[in-house]
Amino acid sequence: MFLLLPQALVDGFLIGGIYVTIAIGFSLAYGVMHIIDFAVGEWIMLGAFLGFYLTRWLQIEPLLFLPLVFIVFAAIGYLFQPVIHRVLSGKKGNPLLMALVFTFGLALMIKGLGLTVFGFYSHSIPSALSAGSFSLEIGSLFVTVPVIRLTGLIYALAITLALHYLLKKTDFGLAVRALSQNKDAAGLMGINAKRTSSYVYGIYVGISAMSGVLIGCIFSISAQMGSQYTVFSFFVVVLAGMGYLSGVPWAAFLLGVVQSFFLIYFNPGWTLLAVFGILYAVLLVSPKGLFGKGV
């Protein structure tokens, strides 16, 4: 039985990369706009379906569409952000909670739209890399590394590095970091909060959609997949500690490993329960995340 353990670890590690990407985008949006976007899973779903249909119509390798998917959804996010901003600047009631309700309604709408247009069926995005895999031998252990999953990890690394460069080495990144620390002061320094927030939200939606395409190549997609990935995003971000980006990789890889573990050893239906159980325990014991650095 333990022969499969290394395989589970490898699988989990590989898939964890994608969860890192999703979680980073999500945390970024939270850091700048202070909203928890309930619709994150739905953006992933929409991106996945765009990738699916583009592949079907144009008969080209889906991974080539990643930049296109990013641009389309980044634009959507950019254009949509002012609506969220309006909710957040509301004078009545509690704007933050209202924004949460709003993104919840949004998620509902997108899910309904998805079900209407795409139906209840599951699909898979056929990538040229989906079938390939190679084997690694480490000592007496023998693991299979599916190429497509490795691609996912490489994708995750690329995005993470790109974001890191963007945030730490560019003026735009400086503006974003300033904005997430102190909105008013940043405004006084000449940073256009609205436009920067729009860009950030666009980036976040774009990344989520791209990740959806990859998920579609590795797993399957359906109009109902959104909730699961929203839960996963929350899991990673809460476990890492809200706003604490350094904790994200650990939590994401943990999620990947847990998922793979359950896929191999148990009934996959228990995966979600295991995720919830861990989430519950962590919240009970350490609400600021595993590292205690959350907000």
Q: Which residues bind other proteins (CB under 8 A)?
A: 35-36, 83, 86-87, 90, 92-94, 96-102, 104-113, 115-116, 227, 231, 234-235, 238, 242, 267, 269-270, 272-273, 276-277, 279-280, 283-284, 287
CB of 217 to other proteins, least distance (A): 26
CB of 123 to other proteins, least distance (A): 17
CB of 159 to other proteins, least distance (A): 24
- Tell me whether residue 135 or residue 267 sits nearer to other proteins (CB atom): 267
Which three-class secondary structure state does DSSP give residue 192? Answer: coil
CB of 41 to other proteins, least distance (A): 12
Where residue 132 falls (left for φ over 0; alpha for ψ -120 to 50; beta otherwise) is beta
CB of 231 to other proteins, least distance (A): 6
Q: Between the CA of residue 207 and those of 52, 75, 246, what are the distances in Å?
A: 16, 12, 18
Please identify which residue in the block is written with the tokens 């619709």. 39
User: End-to-end alpha-carbon separation of the chain, Å?
Assistant: 40
- Tell me whether residue 58 or residue 283 sits nearer to other proteins (CB atom): 283
Distance CA 82, CA 197 (A): 9
Selection from 125, 134, 159 nearest residue 252 by Cα:
159
- Tell me whether residue 13 or residue 80 sits nearer to other proteins (CB atom): 80
- Tell me whether residue 82 or residue 126 sits nearer to other proteins (CB atom): 82
CB of 276 to other proteins, least distance (A): 4
- Tell me whether residue 28 or residue 167 sits nearer to other proteins (CB atom): 28
- Tell me whether residue 38 or residue 155 sits nearer to other proteins (CB atom): 38
- Tell me whether residue 34 or residue 177 sits nearer to other proteins (CB atom): 34
What are the two backbone dihedrals, phi and then psi, of residue 133, each rounded to the nearest 5 degrees?
-160, 160
Please provide the DSSP assignment of 7-71 as one string. Answer: HHHHHHHHHHHHHHHHHHHHHHHHHHH----TTHHHHHHHHHHHHHHHHHHH-S-GGGGHHHHHH
CB of 52 to other proteins, least distance (A): 19
Cβ of 133: how many Cβ atoms within 10 Å? 13
Q: What is the DSSP letter of 131?
A: S
Amino acid at 282: V
